[in-house]
Structure 1
Amino acid sequence: MTDRLTSPPTVRALLAREDLHLRLACDESALPGQALDRAVRWVHSSDLADPTPFLSEGLVLLTTGTQFAHAEDDPDLFAAYVRRLAERGVVALGFGTEVVRAGIPSLLIAACANNGMPLFEVPYRTPFIAVARANAEATAAESYARRTWALAAQRAVSLAALRPDGLDATVAELARQLDAWVGLFDSAGDLRREHPAGALDAATRDELDGEVATVLRRAARAGSSLRIGPTPFSLQTLGRGGHLRGVLAIASGDLDAESRAVVTSVIAMAGLALEQNEGVQRAHGMLRAGSVAALLAGDLGLARRLARELGHALAPGAIAVGVVEASGALLETVSEWLAGGVADPAPLLFGRGSEGLVVVVAPGSALPETLADRFPVRVGLSAAATWQEFPRAADEARAALRRQRGSVARFGETAASGVLGALDSDLARVLAAAALAPLIDHDTTRGTELVPTLRAWLESDARIDAAAIALGVHRHTVRTRIASAERVLGIDLASFPARAELWAALQVSGL
């Protein structure tokens, strides 16, 4: 990200300035890793015994050693001095020789080695102000290089956004400029674009997917940082609060101000692109809804014309119609996911209907199960049909939803229970109990067997002899009980409608 021609202000870069003639007082291998590569924010000089109240973190301290003049043989004094500097965050110590004494005190060298503090000699011919000026120049050069990079990066990103594949090119350019993996997730939490592709291992991807899903569920605009294993990530939401369009993920830790400015520009352009894309998707959604309405109305010709406007034709062959049941906001998310073209297998057609989202699939398609697994929805699915039979198939899908539990309700299972099975509802059970109550009360109070007799008689196609054999009684007994039941119910069981009503009540009640 930094201009390769400009060295960042570090201890190593400061020591590398040949005009300063600085010399490291110990072997680099004796220092902790990266000790010489720590950033230097400023260079300060002080001969106080304890300058730490006046120092800041990331600072190089220069001293001539006057604070040690009266205790050069006290190792505890040197050890405490260096320890205080290290705890304050001082990154290196420079000792000016030939001012108070020749060379660096051996006890100071030992104390710095014990604390992992880089110690270097500043020769008499090099004034402290020259060291401070060198670091200030490096800081200014690095700052200028970062600003120059940020402007160039924003220009490159803007040019990428003008390409035909603007969103993909923008994400790719951001990844190149940051020299990091960048991924763009849609509103359903699917990774739609990534650069470089396949750079994340499966475990990291799975955990990142979960984090993105959590951010999207909150539905609030936010930026967050996290670490997955050794990799730091930054997450930035796209879109407005309550209606997020996606999440931009960057495999990078804390970004500096210039990098954040570039990311902000990408977020703005990506958000605008997604909002514009939303307008297109809204128009496509209206066309899809029109296709569904035309099919429900039996106007196959109009449905075909609308489908062609969407860029595809109604595929010939058998179909199955599914109706997705969920809240309005969730149905919109499902629609966006289907519109994104990532569903596998893809639907033959989908669109909003009066009772939910209608999805047309090939018979045997796994898409209904995929929808139910991915989203908290229920799907009613019709039996195989043709496009001409679309209204009937849609009714079957809705009937399956009403009659069955479970995430995917299939009409074939509903049809297997027959017409009377469809009467299995709370209302039907209440009506059946009310219709049979006089018979049950009569059997309970008088010890008769009107209910079992009626069931046996109806199961025997209303034949007295067959019912008598089934019950093990005389046919006159059956005839007498039927007549009693007619008096109790106040109906004439000689008519088929009356028998059908009684049979349905017996079936629903389970008596």
Structure 2
Amino acid sequence: LEQSRTLGAAEARMKTALLRLWLGVPWEAVSAAEHGPAETRPAPGGRGGRSNGAGASSGTDAAPGPNAQAAGHSDRSSVGGPTAHAPDVSFSGAAAPSIDSLVRTIARDLGTPLPTTPLVVAVAHGPEAARSVFAERIAALEADVFAAEFGEATVLVAAAHLLDDDASAVQRAARELPELVVGVSAAQTADAREAEAYRQARQAYGVGARAGRTVTVYGHTGASLLPFLGDDAVRGWAEELLAPLTAHDASARGDLVASVRAWLARHGQWDAAANDLGVHRHTLRYRMRRAEEILGRRLDDPDVRAELWLALRLVDPEGTGARSAGV
């Protein structure tokens, strides 16, 4: 039993090493924000260069250290690093195979071949038990699924038809798994796109985690920025920006907050905004001049308009305050 566990752990390390090599992920550069605490296993010294440039560090991965660059191509001959023993591969005058070909050959020998294009990459975060069940469910749906552990995440590579029917298969696989959050890349239809697929999956995970969604597919994350700006610091900025107008409305007559909102909503069209407010356009013009004076900012500046609109949407998303003022 102990020998079986040891072999299983060695195979898991080998699969992680293979997938890191294929995706171009440095051993020593797993982001704590994305994958939890940095791993403590020894690093193999760097991943070397990728001929197609896809292995460049991106997203939240840190850049390899100086030792990684010094190692150059040498670590490619031992894809498992010091803790996973890779086959001794020699080429005796023949052209060395590509990283993709080498990784696919070893993965096939392990009995878990990598799928061919079109394919997707998924990144799953959550309790280990939930990630394990999710990976098992995906494997039950797909003949060729390659899964490996990247620190606090499980990374899976599967056929692109997993995204059919709005990724309903992924949704079912993630069902009733508490705290699980999954990001899935868009379908990659060309070779040498694996690093981009991994980047997309990580980005989709980040969006889903912030928005409170279990499964998020890259490119289908929704159009609104507001769900990602709901923390106290951003709301505090919005309230502080609007505070001079809010204080004016509380102590005097003028309804400046409602007037600014109506004017911005109508893209600066005086007649339309005045009609929404039920006031004469000259009254609205006076209010907007007062708003500029109180804020100390010019409303013909597009940056000012954008910030004010964002602040209004964060503080009062549905405009209930404006409606109560007669808008």
1:314 Cα deviation (Å)? 4.0
Q: Is the 8 A contact 2:201 2:217 kept in 1?
A: no
3-state secondary structure, aligned to 2:140: coil
1:340–1:405 CA distance, 2 compared to 1 (3 A): closer
Partner of 2:54: 298
Q: Is the 8 A contact 1:325 1:357 kept in 2?
A: yes
Partner of 2:11: 280
**Corresponding position: 1:507 with 2:313:** yes
> Which structure is richer in relative contact order (CA contacts within 8 A, separation 6 or more)?
2
**Corresponding position: 1:324 with 2:124:** yes
User: Which letter maps to 2:6?
Assistant: E
Partner of 2:212: 405
**Would you say how many aligned residue pairs link Structure 1 and Structure 2?**
237
**Corresponding position: 1:472 with 2:288:** no
1:407–1:360 CA distance, 2 compared to 1 (3 A): same
Q: Distance in 2 between matches of 1:503 and 1:374?
A: 38
User: Which letter maps to 2:201?
Assistant: A
Partner of 1:496: 302
1:282 Cα deviation (Å)? 1.6
Q: Is the 8 A contact 2:211 2:228 kept in 1?
A: no
1:475–1:378 CA distance, 2 compared to 1 (3 A): same
Partner of 1:130: none
1:496–1:470 CA distance, 2 compared to 1 (3 A): same
User: Which letter maps to 2:208?
Assistant: L
Percent identity between the two aligned chains: 29
Partner of 2:157: 360
Map residues 55-66 of structure 1 onto 2, 5 A cutoff.
none
User: Which letter maps to 1:322?
Assistant: A
Q: Is the 8 A contact 1:322 1:397 kept in 2?
A: no
Q: Is the 8 A contact 2:125 2:153 kept in 1?
A: yes
The CA RMSD over aligned residues, in Å, is 3.5
Partner of 1:380: 183
1:397–1:352 CA distance, 2 compared to 1 (3 A): farther
| Higher strand proportion (structure 1 or 2) | 1
Q: Distance in 1 between matches of 2:286 and 2:14?
A: 71
Partner of 1:433: 239
Larger radius of gyration: 1
The C-alpha deviation readout for 1:37-74, integer Å capped at 9, x for no partner, is xxxxxxxxxxxxxxxxxxxxxxxxxxxxxxxxxxxxxx
Map residues 107-506 of structure 1 onto 2, 5 A cutoff.
270-293=1-24, 298-299=54-55, 302-303=99-100, 305-311=102-108, 312-317=113-118, 319-327=119-127, 330=128, 334=131, 338=135, 343-345=140-142, 348-353=145-150, 356-361=153-158, 362=160, 363-364=163-164, 366-367=169-170, 369-373=172-176, 377-386=180-189, 388=193, 389-391=196-198, 393-411=200-218, 414-415=221-222, 417-506=223-312
Q: Is the 8 A contact 1:349 1:359 kept in 2?
A: yes
TM-score (norm 1): 0.41
Q: Is the 8 A contact 2:22 2:100 kept in 1?
A: yes
- Where structure 1 has 5 or more consecutive residues not aligned to the other structure, the ranges are 1-269
Q: Is the 8 A contact 1:287 1:310 kept in 2?
A: yes
- Where structure 2 has 5 or more consecutive residues not aligned to the other structure, the ranges are 26-49, 57-97, 320-327
1:374 Cα deviation (Å)? 5.6
Q: Distance in 2 between matches of 1:344 and 1:299?
A: 29
The C-alpha deviation readout for 1:461-502, integer Å capped at 9, x for no partner, is 112222112222111111111111111111111111111111
1:432–1:411 CA distance, 2 compared to 1 (3 A): farther
1:316 Cα deviation (Å)? 1.5
1:306 Cα deviation (Å)? 2.1
The C-alpha deviation readout for 1:90-142, integer Å capped at 9, x for no partner, is xxxxxxxxxxxxxxxxxxxxxxxxxxxxxxxxxxxxxxxxxxxxxxxxxxxxx
Q: Distance in 2 between matches of 1:374 and 1:403?
A: 18
Q: Distance in 2 between matches of 1:459 and 1:385?
A: 40
Q: Distance in 1 between matches of 2:293 and 2:224?
A: 31
3-state secondary structure, aligned to 1:359: strand
Q: Distance in 2 between matches of 1:340 and 1:465?
A: 59
1:458 Cα deviation (Å)? 0.7
TM-score (norm 2): 0.61
1:337–1:286 CA distance, 2 compared to 1 (3 A): farther
Q: Distance in 2 between matches of 1:272 and 1:337?
A: 27
1:355 Cα deviation (Å)? 6.9
1:272–1:392 CA distance, 2 compared to 1 (3 A): closer
1:431–1:355 CA distance, 2 compared to 1 (3 A): farther
1:369–1:400 CA distance, 2 compared to 1 (3 A): farther
1:280–1:380 CA distance, 2 compared to 1 (3 A): closer
Q: Distance in 2 between matches of 1:419 and 1:347?
A: 36
Partner of 1:93: none
User: Which letter maps to 2:183?
Assistant: G
Q: Distance in 1 between matches of 2:179 and 2:312?
A: 37
Q: Distance in 2 between matches of 1:305 and 1:299?
A: 15
1:432 Cα deviation (Å)? 0.9
User: Which letter maps to 1:315?
Assistant: T
Q: Distance in 2 between matches of 1:275 and 1:441?
A: 68
1:412 Cα deviation (Å)? 5.8
Q: Is the 8 A contact 1:321 1:382 kept in 2?
A: yes
